[in-house]
Structures are given as structure tokens and as C-alpha cells.
């Protein structure tokens, strides 16, 4: 592919930022591509020209989104302006559904090919969005094999490209740590971290009382200022705030993990560390989500395994007492812990068992031919 191709890649979440940086770094090695995009910490380390910094644009919940809506509108306007001036050969939209569907429509109106990678979970909620995808997206690149059957039903071109966490293979390396901790992963978005850290503190205090010799770590996203953590956890020598660019190094420090729902739960499962998950939204966002969402589970681990393999503590259930009791059960009950490990160990097999024609980089190159 000798002719220079211009690719715009849009990521609004930390996981999307990670996947985007992998794509850029891989394709830059063998192709004459110029990358532009929206991203944060990891994309800034690539060859891409960052058009919008997304580090303050990542929230969960309808009413939480309203608080940053002016920033989202400004970012949307900026990206649309660059689409007009740059005229990319391909725009790659990664997750970040509402924002990216609007961009897909605009790109299509301007005659630009659209690839949606890790698209809206319409099989879980708000199925009517399928019509927008059909009208505005050229190709869907999906990471769970059952999704292709879903899109085929609606006549939408989709390719299962494998899950990026399995493809990148980082989880298979052993980052040996002699001292194992109880680890907390409170999230990568500022609004969720602020909601979760007080719960984390209460759980740690209960565990510290029960196990005074135990050491605890809290994983910090590079997108979030450490002062937010220090205000809550200062002067506690049994707690360490850890920020590793490679999250598997942090996971390898844990013998038990407590994580906010998200991509991190799959990463912990791939390392076979027993865990539970928790999550809190605003009251209004929670009740709206409860009304709209039509799947049994919130965690990707349980969704992929199609069973309640790990405990989910959502909203009012996300109490320090409930989480403490679950961690205590994992720590003190070997039979229970081993059953958890056996269940989550199936995640890797589930994600590896399904063959795919293209990986994401192959699909991108194919669309640019």
C-alpha cells in the first residue's frame, strides 16, 4: 500500500485509548499511514496527531453525561471540522457509542468510510440503534463471536476480529511478585472513581481490622490526578497507590481483586485472580439503566461465561459490608476460592476458541484497498 492513507481514529474511554494505540503502533510499522484522532494517555505516545484530548470526556450514566455535555458538543464540533479539512480515507470509531454514532452519521454524509470497532451493545439495551448503524457504518468489527449472528440478522456487514486483550497476549507473561496484596480497581473515569473510593476505604478499614498484617493496593488510572487518591488514603502505610502502564503488572501483585465493572474484569480473569465486582451510578441513572438494560449480568466476565460466576455488587448492594464479606470468603475458604478460579479460567478458552477471518488490522487494511 504505497499511497499515503489518512486514518482518523476516535476513542473516548481508557480501554478504547489502549486499543487505538495498539492499532496505530502495529499499522505504522508496515504502512504509509498518517493517523489523526481523539484519545488520551496512550494515544499521545503514538505517531497520531491528537485533535481532541478525551481524558475528561469519559463518564458513565445518562445524568452524568449531562454534566459534561457542553464539553462533548465542543469535542464533536472540533472533530467534525477536522473531518471536513483532513478528509480521511477511513474513520475508525472505538466504542464510546453515542458520540461515535453521531460521528458515523457525519462521516457518511461526507463520503468517508466508517469502521466501528467494539460497537454499541444493542443486544443488551436500546436495540433501535441498529437502524443508525445500518445507515451510517460500512463495517462492524466485533469482539464477541455471538455478535456477528446478531448483525447478520439485520443485514449489517460485521466481522469477528477476536478480542484485543487476547490478541495482544500481554496477560500470558508472568510479572512475578513475591508479596501478594488485596487489590482494588475502582475505575478509569473520574466520576466513577469519586463514587467508588469512599467504598474502597471502608472495605479496606474493615479488612485491616480483620487482617492487620494484610497489605492493600489501589490501581490508579494515569488519566486521574493522584491527589484525588491521596486525599482519602494518606497516612496509611498499609495502602499503596499503584499506577502501571501495563495493568497486568498490577494484577500480578494481587491474590484477590475487587474491581469496578469494565474491561478490567476481563483482564483480571485472564490472569486467573479471584475477584468480585462492584459499581455505583447516580440514583436516576441507575433506575433508567435498570429499565432499559435487558441482560442478566453487568460484568463482562459473567456475560461471556453466561452465568453468575463472580459476585456483582451493584448500586445499594455495593456496600462495604457486602464486599468485605465476599473478600473474606475468598481469602478464608479455599474451596470457594478454587471454584472461582476454575470458573474465570474459562474466559481465555471462550475468547480463543472462536476462529476469525480477519484481525482488526487486517480488516482496516482490507477496507483501504
For residues 333 and 326, is the Cβ–Cβ distance under 8 A? no
Question: Do 185 and 241 contact (CB within 8 A), yes or no?
Answer: no
Q: Which three cell numbers stand for residue 333?
A: 475458604
Q: Residue 157: which domain range? A: 5-162+354-368
Low-confidence ranges of the chain (pLDDT < 50): 291-292
Q: Note whether 327 and 298 are same-domain residues.
A: yes
Q: Are residues 113 and 136 in the same domain?
A: yes
Shared domain check, 143 and 46: yes
Cα angle, residue 12 at apex, residues 286 and 226 outer, rounded to 5°? 80
Q: Residue-wise over 198-223: b if at least 16 C-beta within 10 A, else e?
A: ebbbebbebbbeebeebbbbbbbbeb
Q: How many domains does the chain have?
A: 2
- One domain, residues 304 and 221: yes
Alpha carbon distance 255, 330 (integer Å): 10
In a shared domain, residues 175 and 103: no
CATH number at residue 13: 3.40.50.2000
Q: Are residues 197 and 141 in the same domain?
A: no
Please give the C-alpha separations between residue 57 and each of 12, 23, 284, in angstroms, as whole numbers: 7, 21, 20
- Dihedral (Cα; 250, 252, 257, 261), 10-degree rounding: 60
DSSP-derived secondary structure for 144-156 = STHHHHHHHHTT-
End-to-end CA distance of the chain: 8
Give φ, ψ of 42 to 5 degrees.
Answer: -80, -35
pLDDT, position 291: 47
Can you give 14-36 as a three-state secondary structure string? HHHHHHHHHHHHHHHCCCCEEEE
Residue 341 DSSP symbol: H
342 shares a domain with 325: yes
Predicted structure pTM score: 0.83
Residues 181 and 266 in one domain: yes
Amino acid at each position: 500500500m504505497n499511497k499515503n492513507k489518512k486514518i482518523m481514529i476516535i476513542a473516548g474511554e481508557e480501554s478504547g485509548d489502549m486499543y487505538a494505540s495498539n492499532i496505530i503502533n502495529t499499522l505504522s510499522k508496515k504502512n504509509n499511514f498518517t493517523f489523526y484522532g481523539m484519545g488520551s494517555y496512550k494515544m499521545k505516545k503514538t505517531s497520531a496527531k491528537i485533535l481532541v484530548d478525551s481524558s475528561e470526556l469519559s463518564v458513565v450514566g445518562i445524568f452524568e453525561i449531562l454534566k459534561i455535555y457542553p464539553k462533548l458538543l465542543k469535542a464533536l464540533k472540533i472533530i467534525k471540522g477536522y473531518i471536513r479539512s483532513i478528509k480521511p480515507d477511513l474513520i475508525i470509531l472505538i466504542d464510546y457509542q453515542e458520540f461515535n454514532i453521531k460521528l458515523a452519521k457525519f462521516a457518511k454524509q461526507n463520503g468517508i468510510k466508517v469502521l466501528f470497532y467494539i460497537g454499541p451493545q444493542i443486544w443488551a439495551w436500546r436495540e433501535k440503534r441498529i437502524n443508525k448503524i445500518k445507515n451510517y457504518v460500512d463495517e462492524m468489527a466485533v469482539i464477541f463471536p455471538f455478535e456477528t449472528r446478531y448483525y447478520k440478522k439485520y443485514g449489517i456487514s460485521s466481522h469477528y476480529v477476536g478480542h484485543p486483550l487476547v490478541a495482544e497476549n500481554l496477560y500470558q507473561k508472568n510479572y512475578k511478585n513475591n508479596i501478594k496484596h488485596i487489590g482494588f480497581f475502582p475505575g478509569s473515569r473520574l466520576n466513577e472513581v469519586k463514587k467508588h473510593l469512599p467504598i474502597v476505604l471502608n472495605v479496606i478499614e474493615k479488612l485491616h481490622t480483620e487482617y492487620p498484617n494484610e497489605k492493600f493496593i489501589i490501581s490508579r488510572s494515569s488519566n486521574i490526578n493522584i491527589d484525588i487518591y491521596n486525599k482519602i488514603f494518606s497516612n496509611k502505610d498499609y495502602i499503596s497507590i499503584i499506577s502501571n502502564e501495563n495493568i497486568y503488572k498490577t494484577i500480578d501483585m494481587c491474590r484477590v481483586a475487587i474491581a469496578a465493572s469494565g474491561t478490567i474484569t476481563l483482564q483480571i480473569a485472564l490472569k486467573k485472580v479471584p475477584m468480585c465486582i462492584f459499581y455505583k451510578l447516580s440514583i436516576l441513572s441507575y433506575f433508567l439503566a435498570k429499565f432499559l438494560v435487558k441482560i442478566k449480568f453487568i460484568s463482562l466476565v459473567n456475560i461471556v461465561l453466561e452465568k453468575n460466576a463472580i459476585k456483582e455488587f451493584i448500586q445499594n448492594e455495593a456496600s462495604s459490608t457486602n464486599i468485605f464479606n465476599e473478600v473474606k470468603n475468598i481469602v478464608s475458604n479455599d474451596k470457594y476460592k478454587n471454584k472461582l478460579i476454575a470458573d474465570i479460567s474459562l474466559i481465555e478458552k471462550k475468547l480463543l476458541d472462536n476462529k476469525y477471518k480477519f484481525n482488526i488490522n487486517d480488516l482496516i487494511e482490507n477496507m483501504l484497498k
